[in-house]
């Protein structure tokens, strides 16, 4: 067995620091430039050191906002996002954010205060078993027991968060440890005997895969978030173009391959393109790159890619063969594996296959029917695409608007589309946009959200206004929890239960005092938070509103009153096969 990291043994001559100072130094040393957080009794010492720290602190208005902002920052930049919250309720408020990041493999380091070590287990004021609560939603977590181990733990936390399949790491720091003095410094290099994330792909497996590609008549690349995390865009494009392999991506990988490229068949799965889902159904070789065969992608597992040899490339061994058989599995980071494949793969044309795929693309584009006098939500996304010249960095909440944002915008760059995929967290969009904008000040950050989701973390708008962030929040207000309403329409016989956000025409058991206007008034609400805002009720007003907002350099909220009962199509019902796809245009 190999040596343990030899932290601390080098530090004899170093001046003493408090645990709190170790935390700040550790964050700065790890390259943290922006820290999101919220104070409280159990982190007062850390905030005291933050007073003069060389990093930008963002006071959010809710701890959930802090984690989602750190998450958006990480997704936009590829760097670890960092947040700092107090014990008990502060820490429990992070759980949804941690789970969101965990499901999507996003690197976060979250520092939580904890009651003093000797009080742990006593039901002390603002005590919660944060290690226990966060264990299933973090890649790893640490309870710090002495200040001596703190510098090394912080270094390890960043290492764990950013390597292998990335993920969130929690460091729970009891208050007395923050005050404790130590001379220890972080080790120069982190070494852990039980954690070896960097796996070199087995050359024999790569060669076998290359051989399969060379023999295939109808290959398809199925690309997921691992290709984004692994920075594999260029390698992917090189492989796809060399052997003329069509590419479909998951929600997590929008733009990792340019969607305006003739080889792109765009997103697959429940609301993916017909061409992508037909291609999966007909391909003879499915090359999965950093994707995890989520049930929203596969539908009926036993009927998924029925004619194909299935191959998985993933850095996470447990992802290979988890839900769908892997005929060949290659464990490794996406980029080096694709680069190793490239010289072994022969140039190929696959004319017949590409023609077939092209016919599907031509025959079944994403379409919708304009309804007289109403703004169609799909139309709004098209306008965002046009007015931003395809350059917007789009973030979303979860629901119908999220799916339309994948369908009616063509992403051409990785990290151009940011959305909660695995957990499907409403309330993610607005804070994630703020985090993304802080990480990429030059980006045109547009948050596409619903009237439901935006209300879940609206308070964070202040954070954007304070910093004069030029984010644009586009609320597609359909008066419903639209995606749930759609399922009730299609699968529960139009029985709309608990999905009406307006105050009129409610069911008797949901009845409220009827109001002539929809509550809340999003325009007033945005203005009360200091943002510019407008309400758009006619199609012609959409583009001008966007133009005004995009050029303004200010925080904008544009509320679009959209057709209330528009549906997202195509739709493969949950657990169904492609053949059961519902594809209407209304």
Partner 1 sequence: MKHIINCLVENQPGVLARIVGLISGRGYNIETLNVGPTADPTVSKMTIVVPGDAHVIEQVTHQLSKQVDVIEVVNMTNRRHLNRELILVRVAVGDHQHRAEVVDLASLFMARVVAVQEDSVTVQMVGNQETVDDFLRLLKHYAIVDISRSGVIAVGREAGENGGK
Ligand X SMILES: Cc1ncc(C[n+]2csc(CCOP(=O)(O)OP(=O)(O)O)c2C)c(N)n1
Task: Identify which of 258, 281, 277, 568 has the alpha carbon closest to the alpha carbon of residue 398.
Answer: 568
Number of residues forming the site for ligand X (CB under 6 A): 20
Min. distance of Cβ 328 from partner 1 in angstroms?
A: 16
162 binds ligand X (CB under 6 A): no
192 binds partner 1 (CB under 8 A): yes
Residue 80 DSSP label? P
Q: Which residues of 290-310 are buried (b: 16+ CB within 10 A; e: fewer)?
A: bbbbbebbbbbeeebbeebbb
Q: Which residue stretch of 2-10, 244-252, 394-402, 550-558 sits at the interface with ligand X (rule: CB under 6 A)?
A: 394-402
205 binds partner 1 (CB under 8 A): no
Min. distance of Cβ 156 from partner 1 in angstroms?
A: 8
Min. distance of Cβ 453 from ligand X in angstroms?
A: 3
Contact 28, 60 (CB under 8 A): no
Residue from 92, 250, 273, 400 that binds ligand X (CB under 6 A)? 400
Beta carbon nearer to partner 1, 177 or 376: 177
407 binds ligand X (CB under 6 A): no
321 binds partner 1 (CB under 8 A): yes
Beta carbon nearer to partner 1, 190 or 463: 190
- From 33, 57, 79, 126, the catalytic residue: 126
Measured distance CA(557)–CA(535) in Å, rounded: 9
Contact 111, 84 (CB under 8 A): yes
- From 175, 335, 361, 383, the catalytic residue: 175
Q: How many C-beta atoms surround the C-beta of residue 29 within 10 A? A: 15
Residue from 414, 470, 482, 570 that binds ligand X (CB under 6 A)? 482
Contact 54, 34 (CB under 8 A): no
1 binds partner 1 (CB under 8 A): yes
Measured distance CA(195)–CA(163) in Å, rounded: 10
Q: Which residue stretch of 172-180, 409-417, 458-466, 475-483 sits at the interface with ligand X (rule: CB under 6 A)?
A: 475-483
Residue 137 DSSP label? G
Residues 504 to 563 in contact with ligand X, rule: CB under 6 A: none
- The entry of ligand X, partner 1, none near residue 322 (CB within 5 to 8 angstroms by kind) is partner 1
Residue from 179, 296, 322, 577 that binds partner 1 (CB under 8 A)? 322
State how far Cα 361 lies from the chain centre: 27
Q: Which residue stretch of 66-74, 318-326, 336-344, 448-456 sits at the interface with partner 1 (rule: CB under 8 A)?
A: 318-326
Q: Which residues of 468-480 are buried (b: 16+ CB within 10 A; e: fewer)?
A: ebbbbbbbbbbbb
Beta carbon nearer to ligand X, 214 or 459: 459
SS3 383: helix
Number of residues forming the site for partner 1 (CB under 8 A): 22
Measured distance CA(359)–CA(362) in Å, rounded: 5
SS3 494: coil
Spatial CB neighbours of 585, under 8 Å, sequence gap ≥ 6? 367, 368, 369, 569
426 binds ligand X (CB under 6 A): yes
Sheet containing strand 264-267, strands side by side: 264-267, 247-249, 219-223, 285-289, 309-314, 328-331
335 binds partner 1 (CB under 8 A): no
Kindly state the helix (H) or strand (E) to which residue 47 belongs, with its residue range. Answer: helix 44-50
Residues 441 to 470 in contact with ligand X, rule: CB under 6 A: 450-453
375 binds ligand X (CB under 6 A): no
Q: Which residue stretch of 170-178, 478-486, 549-557, 577-585 sits at the interface with ligand X (rule: CB under 6 A)?
A: 478-486
Beta carbon nearer to partner 1, 143 or 560: 143
425 binds ligand X (CB under 6 A): yes
Beta carbon nearer to partner 1, 73 or 304: 304
- The entry of ligand X, partner 1, none near residue 193 (CB within 5 to 8 angstroms by kind) is partner 1
Measured distance CA(377)–CA(449) in Å, rounded: 11
Q: Which residue stretch of 128-136, 211-219, 341-349, 388-396 sits at the interface with partner 1 (rule: CB under 8 A)?
A: 128-136
132 binds partner 1 (CB under 8 A): yes
316 binds partner 1 (CB under 8 A): yes
Task: Identify which of 62, 19, 54 has the alpha carbon closest to the alpha carbon of residue 35.
Answer: 54
Q: Which residue stretch of 8-16, 22-30, 197-205, 473-481 sits at the interface with ligand X (rule: CB under 6 A)?
A: 473-481
Q: Which residue stretch of 32-40, 85-93, 246-254, 317-325 sits at the interface with partner 1 (rule: CB under 8 A)?
A: 317-325
- From 270, 456, 483, 500, the catalytic residue: 483
Q: How many C-beta atoms surround the C-beta of residue 5 within 10 A? A: 18
Task: Identify which of 272, 505, 499, 206 has the alpha carbon closest to the alpha carbon of residue 404.
Answer: 272
481 binds ligand X (CB under 6 A): yes
Residue from 79, 208, 317, 440 that binds partner 1 (CB under 8 A)? 317
130 binds ligand X (CB under 6 A): no
Contact 251, 419 (CB under 8 A): yes
Residues 150 to 189 in contact with partner 1, rule: CB under 8 A: 160, 164
- Diameter over CA atoms, the chain: 77
Contact 256, 414 (CB under 8 A): yes
Min. distance of Cβ 427 from ligand X in angstroms?
A: 6
Residue 125 is a catalytic residue: yes
Residue 63 is a catalytic residue: yes
415 binds partner 1 (CB under 8 A): no
Residue from 174, 399, 414, 570 that binds ligand X (CB under 6 A)? 399
Q: Which residues of 537-568 are buried (b: 16+ CB within 10 A; e: fewer)?
A: eebeebbebbebbbeeebbbbbbbbbbbbbbb
Residue from 56, 193, 507, 584 that binds partner 1 (CB under 8 A)? 193
Q: CB-side exposure of 311: number of CA atoms within 13 Å? A: 27
Spatial CB neighbours of 388, under 8 Å, sequence gap ≥ 6? 444, 446, 546, 550
Judged by the rule CB under 6 A, the positions of this chain that interact with ligand X are 397-401, 424-427, 450-453, 476, 478, 480-484
Catalytic residues: 63, 125-126, 175, 483
- Which residues are near partner 1 by CB under 8 A? 1, 4, 131-132, 135-136, 139-141, 143, 160, 164, 192-195, 316-318, 320-322
């Amino acid at each position: 067995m190999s040596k343990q990291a030899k932290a601390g043994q080098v530090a004899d001559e170093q001046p003493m620091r408090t645990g709190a100072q170790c935390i700040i130094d550790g964050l700065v040393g790890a390259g943290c430039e922006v820290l999101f957080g919220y104070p409280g009794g159990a982190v007062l010492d850390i905030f005291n050191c933050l007073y003069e720290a060389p990093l930008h602190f963002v006071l959010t208005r809710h701890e959930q906002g802090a984690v989602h902002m750190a998450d958006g920052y990480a997704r936009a930049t590829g760097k670890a996002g960092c947040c700092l919250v107090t014990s008990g309720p502060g820490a429990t408020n992070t759980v949804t954010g941690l789970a969101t990041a965990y499901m999507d493999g996003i690197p976060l380091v979250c520092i939580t205060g904890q009651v003093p070590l000797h009080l742990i287990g006593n039901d002390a004021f603002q005590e919660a078993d944060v290690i226990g609560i966060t264990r299933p939603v973090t890649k790893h977590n640490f309870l710090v027991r002495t200040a001596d181990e703190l510098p090394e733990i912080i270094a390890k936390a960043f290492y764990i968060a950013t390597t292998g399949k990335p993920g969130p790491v929690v460091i729970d720091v009891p208050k007395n440890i923050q005050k404790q003095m130590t001379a220890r410094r972080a080790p120069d290099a982190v070494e852990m005997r039980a954690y070896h994330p960097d796996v070199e792909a087995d050359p024999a497996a790569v060669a076998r895969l290359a051989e399969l590609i060379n023999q295939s008549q109808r290959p398809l690349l199925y690309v997921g978030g691992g290709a984004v995390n692994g920075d594999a865009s260029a390698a992917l494009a090189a492989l796809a173009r060399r052997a003329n392999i069509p590419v479909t991506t998951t929600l997590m990988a929008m733009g990792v391959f340019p969607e305006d490229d003739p080889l792109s068949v765009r997103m697959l799965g429940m609301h993916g393109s017909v061409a992508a889902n037909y291609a999966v159904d007909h391909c003879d070789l499915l090359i999965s790159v950093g994707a995890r065969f989520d049930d929203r992608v596969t539908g009926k597992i036993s009927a998924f890619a029925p004619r194909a040899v299935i191959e998985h490339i993933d850095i996470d061994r447990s992802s290979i063969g988890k839900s769908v058989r892997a005929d060949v599995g290659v464990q490794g980071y996406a980029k080096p594996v694709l680069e190793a494949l490239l010289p072994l793969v022969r140039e190929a044309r696959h004319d017949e296959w590409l023609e077939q795929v092209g016919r599907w693309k031509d025959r079944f584009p994403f379409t919708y029917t304009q309804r007289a006098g109403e703004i169609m939500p799909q139309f709004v996304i098209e306008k965002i695409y046009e007015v931003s010249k395809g350059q917007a960095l789009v973030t979303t909440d979860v629901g119908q608007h999220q799916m339309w944002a994948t369908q009616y915008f063509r992403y051409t760059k990785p990290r151009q589309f940011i959305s909660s995929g695995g957990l499907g967290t409403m309330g993610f969009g607005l804070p994630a946009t703020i985090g993304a904008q802080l990480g990429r000040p030059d980006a045109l950050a547009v948050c596409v959200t619903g009237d439901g989701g935006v209300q879940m973390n609206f308070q964070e708008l202040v954070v954007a206004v304070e910093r004069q962030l030029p984010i644009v929040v586009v609320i597609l207000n359909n008066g419903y929890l639209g995606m749930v309403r759609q399922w009730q329409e299609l699968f529960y016989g139009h029985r709309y239960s608990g999905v009406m956000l307006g105050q009129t025409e409610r069911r008797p058991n949901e009845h409220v005092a009827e109001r002539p206007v929809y509550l809340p008034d999003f325009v007033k609400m945005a203005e009360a938070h200091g943002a510019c805002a407008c309400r758009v009720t006619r199609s012609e007003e959409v583009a001008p509103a966007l133009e005004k907002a995009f050029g303004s350099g200010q925080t904008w909220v544009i509320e679009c009153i959209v057709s209330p009962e528009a549906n997202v199509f195509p739709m493969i019902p949950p657990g169904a096969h492609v053949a059961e796809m519902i594809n209407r245009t209304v």
